[in-house]
Amino acid sequence: MSKLRAPTRLYHNPRCSKSRGALELLRERGIEPEVIAYLETPPDATELCELLGLLGVDARELLRSGEDEYKQLGLDDTSLDEDALIAAMAAHPRLIERPVFVHGGRAVIGRPPERVLELL
């Protein structure tokens, strides 16, 4: 069984106000997700592919284009394929948009944080 099909999870950055807000909204509703501090325990390429499938988005939509790594790695190059973008996120987890909430075999990017409630 895939890790992503496991119980409720939140890919979380405790330094991010949106991520903290999403976690607070879930807890207010009695939901205690498995919190994945993805900067400390980054998802590998396989997990990112599964996550993208649950989100129903391509890799570029999960990228944080404002991060220094985005510019340094030339990720604005539209000729880069999914594998290259996924590899960049696996190697540089700061590039992953946050928070990402996984629940019931689906996922959503919690921007704004209230989006996590869509899966409840």
Question: Around Cβ 26, how many Cβ atoms within 10 Å?
Answer: 24
Q: Using omega within 30 degrees of 0 as the cis cutoff, is the peptide bond preceding 112 cis?
A: yes
Active site residue 16: yes
Contact 16, 94 (CB under 8 A): no
Instruction: Write down the catalytic residue from 16, 31, 37, 117.
Output: 16
Tell me the C-alpha distance between 53 and 75, whole Å.
Answer: 21
Closest to 43 measured CA to CA, from 83, 4, 84, 1: 4
Tell me the C-alpha distance between 38 and 11, whole Å.
Answer: 6
Which residues participate in catalysis according to the annotation? 16
